[in-house]
């Protein structure tokens, strides 16, 4: 692509809480539940990078030390909420979104890990929830329920995780 038509590089989320070198932040390492949230700012194309960075700073300030926020596209962020169950994740995302500078509207999709699904499936469920939230409009948050049994058709080839144990 010619340099004149290339989109500008996304500025990073301002430096915040970072793991110590050699220390894992992988939730499964700690055996805790976790949720993934995808949050889209409405109409990000008209926002200056400074505004998007202000949003990132405000949102990161609302997250706990164990959580992680990353900018994954122009107006899209991903949050990893460690040690959260579904309702706790929704409360955290609602609290985070309430601090958005200039009350810029956003939509969010949340999916919580079922204990067995691969990360690709979890992110896909969060994306599906985000699509539903955006269709609903008005700054909606949609929580995608955890699958109780893995749908093997959505797994990458060669990945065969065991389903989560069932409660008696």
Q: Is 99 inside any structural domain?
A: yes
Domain count, the chain: 1
* CATH number of the domain encompassing residue 95: 3.30.70.270
The closest alpha carbon to 82, from 113, 53, 116, belongs to 113
- Show the domain range for 35: 30-152
Q: Return the closest-CA partner of residue 105 out of 141, 132, 72.
A: 141
Q: Is the pTM of this model over 0.85?
A: no
Q: Which two tokens stand for residue 73?
A: 């596209």
Query: What are 87-106's pLDDT values in tens digits?
Result: 999 999 999 999 988 778 88
Within 13 Å and on the Cβ side, how many CA atoms surround 157?
0
Q: Could you give the strand order of the β-sheet that contains 76-82, starting from the edge strand earlier in sequence? A: 68-71, 76-82, 34-41, 106-112, 141-144
In a domain, residue 136? The reply is: yes
Residue 25 lies in a domain: no
Residue 15 maps to a domain: no
pLDDT one-digit tens code per residue, 39-67: 998 876 666 677 888 888 999 999 998 89
């Amino acid at each position: 692509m010619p340099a004149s038509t290339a989109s500008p590089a996304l500025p990073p989320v301002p430096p915040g809480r970072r793991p110590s070198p050699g220390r894992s932040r992988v939730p499964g390492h700690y055996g805790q539940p976790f949720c993934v949230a995808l949050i889209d700012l409405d109409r990000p194309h008209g926002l200056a990078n400074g505004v998007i960075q202000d949003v990132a700073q405000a949102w990161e300030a609302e997250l706990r030390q164990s959580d992680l926020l990353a900018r994954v596209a122009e107006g899209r962020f991903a949050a990893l909420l460690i040690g959260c169950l579904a309702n706790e994740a929704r409360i955290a995302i609602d609290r985070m979104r309430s601090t958005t500078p200039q009350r810029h509207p956003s939509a969010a999709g949340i999916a919580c890990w079922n204990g067995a699904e691969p990360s690709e499936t979890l992110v896909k469920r969060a994306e599906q929830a985000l699509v539903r939230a955006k269709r609903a409009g008005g700054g909606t948050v949609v929580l995608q329920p955890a699958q109780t049994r893995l749908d093997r058709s959505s797994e990458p080839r060669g990945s065969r995780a065991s389903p989560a144990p069932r409660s008696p």
